[in-house]
Amino acid sequence: MGLLSRLFGSKTNEIAATKVLVCAVGREFAPQLETDAATYSRHYPNCVTMVCDSASEVLSKLSGFDIVHLLCRVTEAGELDSAMGAAIPAVSLLETCVNENVKLLVVASGNNPEGYIAGFKAKGMPLNLVMTLDRRGEKYQPWLDALLTKLSSGKTLPAAWVAIVPQVHGHAPHDNAPGCIFFAGRGSVIFRP
């Protein structure tokens, strides 16, 4: 299998009527939740928005969704912090996403890389994962809109990602994009509206 086949997947998995959950752990993320949900709704009509009081409540809400866009605090120990209740290991979130057949998890709130390194160990998991380090203020929404435009038009996540954030040595810095880390564990999925 060639490098491109491994990166983009040799067999495409197309999802019709993609179901999206835009969710926050705690009310502190209400402004971002509202704007992010509005951006998703423009591209995917099957979009549900909710605020959960605890990280464990989020895990109980993942069933039936193809994309989960989550706003939460990640501790340096790699746990999802909760407004109420105990923190949970981030790997529990990843495992629940895989078990519930979530294809893309976006952690959309800015968090320190240490927490992602400690807890988001996705290697070998069939899950696309975007981890946000810095939303960079007003730059997040245009970037998210551009990404969702590509995805909803039939591009896979790896193809959409490199189209809007080129990964070319010597390319100009990505000043108009948020600081994100991307893992393609299920790169061949197409998310149709």
pLDDT at residue 172 in the model: 52
In the chain, the percentage of residues whose pLDDT exceeds 90 is 84
pLDDT top residue among 172 and 119: 119
Q: What's the rounded mean pLDDT across residues 99-110?
A: 98
pLDDT at residue 76 in the model: 95
Confidence of residue 2 (pLDDT cuts 50, 70, 90): very low
Confidence of residue 5 (pLDDT cuts 50, 70, 90): very low
CATH architecture of 12-164+179-191: 3-Layer(aba) Sandwich (3.40)
pTM of the model: 0.91
Beta strands in 26-156 (DSSP E): 47-52, 67-71, 79-80, 88-89, 104-107, 128-134
Element (H, E) at 22: strand 20-25
Would you say residue 4 has pLDDT above 60?
A: no
Q: Dihedrals φ, ψ of 189, to 5°? A: -75, 135
Pairwise CA distance, residues 11 & 165, whole Å: 24
Domain positions in the chain are 12-164+179-191
61 is written with which tokens?
Answer: 């809400």
Residues in Cβ contact with 101 at an 8 Å cutoff, skipping those fewer than 6 apart: 66
